[in-house]
Structure 1
């Protein structure tokens, strides 16, 4: 009888231990924060897309954000995956990684634009990708975004991007793009966030630019997708529209057109919002730029990348409706040894590339 009691106690303790491990999330981390800094620049729309959440190396993160500031960029776009913050269940939040990036960005004087997506395994069916968000879990995702806003909007992180390139099959969980489903998501997220952080700015869009691929099954034309969102009455459920403004192989002053992917395609997006009565809503570029890899067919010459990148930032000053231009990307902590490396402004070892140094020089002298 005693043995049975002992075994019973052991089982209860084991279950309790497993439950604690399942529910326990990391506590706050003491950070080694530098003194408060400010960004010195003559173009307050300069920005970079960073890739820092999930690295966990505080020295690396601090160094990367120092480089962004020293380049003269007041803005960053950073991904804060839902899967990192609620990895095990809908109960509780692990803010350690997000705190690390946001607190260091604040100390560097940077404005953070938060991209919020990537679905944890518990919130999607088996054998689906981390881009698969089923309507049954829209409320859970909205709860995450609202909790993020409630925590970080008082710290200045007000710009929240709801999903990434939903007009792509890959980013929509290997399903055909569905603007009606994305509109439904916005309608759940918007009121949940505004209830706890009225000052938050809900950013929709961030579409893959260009015409349809595979009759829209792989990519839906970005202009068609935007029009369909308005047809689905999504207009009242976002405050700002995000654009991915890649230049392709054309200079940033090349004329826009429905079939062309270039920097001035953002003017077509602006006209579309105006057409639907949203003249007061601003645009923000959350990806963009040029690639100068010598063996990639869509690349430009290194000298053109430098000149055209600066021209992008300078041309943005002529658009009163444009919030910021966060180009892709500052750096990554690893090298692919292929064309993705050639988007970087800084090498993985921290060495600035020519485009970084040129923008840094421009940011101190533009308009002089």
Structure 2
């Protein structure tokens, strides 16, 4: 009996030790650092890596981004992943993994911050629903994120995604006043701990209003409303989603058209509203080549027009980077979203990847394209 008691105590101590010992993160398998070799430093792609947790996949993906000749990535770092349970704890595992590997590949990371944890929103709301009661919680999260990663080279933070869309504003009508209030709380919180961080606003869904502005507020109207609400002192840079639609990138812009050069209308409006000091960064854009989607173009046009988009971007001295949607995903939807990708889920490069890689290495444009 005495031996059984001793055995039970030893087993209890062993089990307790497993629970009580510090939970240290696993060391990462980060390769030696290297630089991006490219003839166009504006080239970027939007990645989809946070939350995957597969370090080998993340490492391979970011190595391929480097080898394509892209210097920039946008990556979403969901608030709901980093503070899933309460405002008092943080889980940096996934973000640390992505940022460490991006840094090793010489990539500049633009960190998109949104997606609301369940504790910070009312029941039966979507994970895009952020009300004023929790603006301060989001601002603290953004500040802690900036303080952690600014020393690791992450200088660009995008505050929310497409707030002029009902879906992205928590299934509520877009509200420029509320988004301004979010910026007014987030900007000083970030600057207090990481003054070198560039706080980016906007990232609007491009185009005219839909359903009277209740589904989408016109992006130019939304920007003007932010100026009226006093938002301009509370961001450093403006993000644009510069999709090409069905038109080549050199097509003239117009207020009622969605094409790449709509960015010029945004620039003109920023200047008129007193934001001439605000640089612009493209955080989404590009072309889709799905064979059965009405919004897609032919694969050959996608190749030519994507490269033309990167090349045309060099005309704009006020443009920080051109970061197109999207590099790859670890899964297939078997529908048109797959046709945005540069690389298949198993890592196989698509024709668009190889063409951009050749352009980035040589600066040579595909025939019959000539420099704009």
* Equivalent in 291, 314, 336 of residue 339 of structure 1: 336
Alignment partner of 1:211 is 2:199: no
Aligned 8 A contact 1:28 1:95 in 2: no
Closer, same or farther: CA 355–109 of 1 in aligned 2, 3 Å: same
1:190 corresponds to which residue? 187
1:163 corresponds to which residue? 160
2:82 corresponds to which residue? 85
Alignment partner of 1:149 is 2:128: no
Matches within 5 A, 1:59-208: 59-208=56-205
- In the TM superposition, residue 367 of structure 1 has moved relative to its aligned partner by 6.7
Aligned 8 A contact 2:358 2:364 in 1: no
Aligned 8 A contact 2:116 2:128 in 1: yes
- In the TM superposition, residue 29 of structure 1 has moved relative to its aligned partner by 3.0
- 5+ residue gaps, structure 1, are 1-16
Alignment partner of 1:262 is 2:256: no
Structure 2 CA distance for aligned equivalents of residues 189 and 359 of structure 1: 36
Normalised by the length of structure 1, the TM-score is 0.93
1:249 corresponds to which residue? 246
Structure 2 CA distance for aligned equivalents of residues 98 and 201 of structure 1: 19
Report the secondary structure of 1:187's partner residue: helix
Aligned 8 A contact 1:26 1:96 in 2: no
Structure 2 CA distance for aligned equivalents of residues 117 and 148 of structure 1: 12
2:9 corresponds to which residue? none
Structure 1 CA distance for aligned equivalents of residues 54 and 23 of structure 2: 16
1:48 corresponds to which residue? 45
Structure 2 CA distance for aligned equivalents of residues 29 and 102 of structure 1: 15
* Equivalent in 328, 353, 358 of residue 356 of structure 1: 353
- In the TM superposition, residue 28 of structure 1 has moved relative to its aligned partner by 3.0
CA displacement 1:244-299 (0-9 Å, x = unmatched): 00000000000000000000000000001100121121000000000000000111
Alignment partner of 1:292 is 2:289: yes
Closer, same or farther: CA 352–259 of 1 in aligned 2, 3 Å: same
Report the secondary structure of 1:298's partner residue: coil
Aligned 8 A contact 1:42 1:367 in 2: no
Closer, same or farther: CA 26–228 of 1 in aligned 2, 3 Å: farther
Alignment partner of 1:322 is 2:304: no
- In the TM superposition, residue 81 of structure 1 has moved relative to its aligned partner by 0.3
1:281 corresponds to which residue? 278
Closer, same or farther: CA 27–94 of 1 in aligned 2, 3 Å: farther
Structure 2 CA distance for aligned equivalents of residues 278 and 299 of structure 1: 34
Report the secondary structure of 1:320's partner residue: coil
Normalised by the length of structure 2, the TM-score is 0.92
